[in-house]
Amino acid sequence: MVDPSARPLIMRSAKDCPGWSFNLAVWLRTIVLAVVLFLSARVQAAQYPLVWTQTNLGQGNLFACDHTPKGFVVLEGAGSPFQSDDGLSWKPMGEAVLTEVLAFTASPKGTLFVSIQKSHLFLDDGRIISSQFPEGFSADQVAWGNGLYVGLRGYTDAIYGNITNAQPVSLVSSNGVDWRGTVLPVSVFVSGSFPFADSVQEMRFGSGRFVAATHGSVVSSIDGIKWVRALSNQDLVIEGLCFGAGKFLIAARELGPLDPVGNPPTQWKRRWEYPVIFISGDGINWSKQRNEGEFKPGPLAYGNGVFLLVSPSGQVRWSVDGLNWRLNPVQVPSGIRKVCFGRDRFLCVGDNGLILSSLEIASLSIRHSEASKDVSISVDANLANEIQLQGSQDLETWSEITSPLWILESGRRNLTLPNNDPRRFFRVVMPSLARTQPR
């Protein structure tokens, strides 16, 4: 296995391919290898390491982000949505209508925003269709799936307009305009004699199901009307939920019992606290993995074959399977609240209007000259930094082709390798970010 800490992209040269004599076994083997290398290159390009470009929307905290048909959308603390095509340049959305937005979701019909007791369907042509929820109904979160818009509100003592001490409710619509409301029993979210107030923090759709998380419970539904509790623990603090690669992932903190501090006790302290990852293929049955050390749970996202987790301190970790996590060497500022993926990049949003957009280090292309049999290599650097080109015969042992200072600014660099060069695979690395990982 190749050290992944220094390979954002690997490509193979075609210079060692034999002539055109047809051999079925060879051709099948070549096709399989080409597919594996293609998929590997796409995943590795986004995996490691990620670097970030920063922008800022002002002083308000950002509490939601996602990718929609209109591009990236984020929500500012007052519930005002902003839109961007690239994650860098931002503009307000629907200023006259879209105010006090609580959540939103993307669908083939457009982007649906929910505010206090109202929904607003933002169509691709710019029209906005607003409608009123049934009396007494509201939604903490909303998601699209199975041809339905589904909103969900947890058991809460928060105030929604004239609604106080609200029962859990669900809202379902096939068109984003006409809504059916259902009052849910408190037992859907919490068990025991003393249910605690908790709003819905996250909701995702995948594997034919809606899955929603409060701070301590996970519930699931196929149709948005009938919900079942899959996890419930008053000592669980869920920090992130996402769906990708056919599975749901939850990042959470598991809290130990409370011990008194002082004599007589003046405060209480948790005996222990562990970071945990929950994984489920169906949203009902969950397996738990406890992570030791400095691993801290936070918001999650999935894209380009990897799960991304950002801790409160700004540490960034990625995983292909959700079980084995590796630390990205480039941290982000603390206070990241949400992470999303779209247009081949991750987006992080957080306190004081902070927005971070991920960048690949570089893109690599190879051309083979039929006349001279030489190999032409082009590297497009996306940021100013040290970038080095390396080559290998076997994907195990890598040797330098250029010095570490080959590229010090963004732009394209080209070089040509003679036909007798034995190396067949190539990658670009940033030596300053290289880390040694177990093979």
Q: Where are the domains of the chain?
A: 4-20+364-433, 51-359
- CB contact at 8 A, 44 and 38: no
Does 254 score more than 80 pLDDT?
A: yes
Q: With CA atoms as reference, report the closest residue to 351 among 52, 54, 53.
A: 54
Is the predicted pLDDT of residue 55 greater than 50, yes or no? yes
**Lowest-confidence region among 94-98, 279-283, 338-342:** 94-98
Q: How confident is the model at residue 376 (pLDDT cuts 50, 70, 90)?
A: confident
**So what CATH class is 4-20+364-433?**
mainly beta
Model pLDDT for residues 81-126, shown as the tens digit of each residue: 999 998 889 999 877 677 889 999 999 889 999 998 899 999 878 7
Element of type H or E holding 29: helix 24-47
3-class SS at 100? coil
Could you tell me the strand order of the sheet in which 91-92 lies?
62-68, 71-76, 81-84, 91-92
The residue ranking higher by pLDDT, 288 or 215, is: 288
Closest Cα partner for 349 from 126, 38, 60? 60
Rounded to 10 degrees, the C-alpha dihedral 153/158/160/162 comes to 130
pTM of the model: 0.75
Structure token pair of residue 238? 């869920």
Which region among 53-57, 100-104, 208-212, 326-330 has the lowest average model confidence (pLDDT)?
326-330
- CA-CA-CA-CA torsion for 244, 360, 63, 139, nearest 10 degrees? -30
Please check the confidence at residue 305 and state whether its pLDDT lies above 60.
Answer: yes
User: Which of the residue ranges 76-80, 202-206, 252-256 has the most confident prediction, judged by mean pLDDT?
Assistant: 202-206
CB 43 within 8 A of CB 320: yes
Burial class (CB in 10 A: 0-12, 13-18, 19+), 176: buried
pLDDT for residue 335 is more than 90: yes
Residue 340: strand pairing partners: 347
Q: Are 359 and 346 in contact (CB under 8 A)?
A: no
pLDDT at 228: 94
What pLDDT is attached to residue 40?
34
Range name among 27-36, 102-111, 366-375 with the lowest pLDDT average: 27-36
pLDDT in tens, 12-26: 444 443 333 334 343
Residues 6+ apart with CB under 8 A from 391: 398, 399, 401, 417, 421, 423, 424, 425, 426, 427
Q: Which CATH class is domain 51-359?
A: mainly beta
Edge-first strand order for the sheet with 411-417 is: 362-368, 375-381, 411-417
DSSP letters for 214-250 = -SSEEEEESSSSS-EEEEE-TTEEEEEEEEETTEEEE
Average pLDDT over residues 231-253: 92
Share of residues in the chain with pLDDT > 70 (%): 77
333 class by beta-carbon count within 10 Å (0-12 exposed, 13-18 middle, 19+ buried): middle
Distances from the Cα of 214 to the Cαs of 155, 177, 189, 231, 324, in angstroms? Answer: 9, 26, 8, 10, 25
The reported pLDDT for the residue numbered 320 is 87
Give the position of tokens 């994907």.
Answer: 395
| CA-based nearest residue to 392, from 366, 439, 424, 367 | 424
List the one residue out of 382, 344, 366, 384 whose CA is nearest residue 46.
Answer: 344
pLDDT level of residue 385 (50, 70, 90 thresholds): low
Mean pLDDT of 307-328: 91
Least confident of 22-26, 70-74, 91-95, 290-294: 22-26
Residue 406: predicted pLDDT? 60
Structure tokens at 101: 């937005």
pLDDT above 90 (res 63): yes
Q: For residue 417, give both structure tokens.
A: 């390798």
| 271 and 259 Cβ atoms separated by less than 8 Å | yes
Tell me the pLDDT band of 159, cut-offs 50, 70 and 90: very low
The pLDDT value given to residue 327:
87
Q: What is the DSSP letter of 35?
A: H
Q: Which residue has the higher pLDDT, 113 or 397?
A: 113
Out of 51-65, 329-343, 400-414, pick the least confident.
Answer: 400-414
Residue corresponding to tokens 């050290």: 3
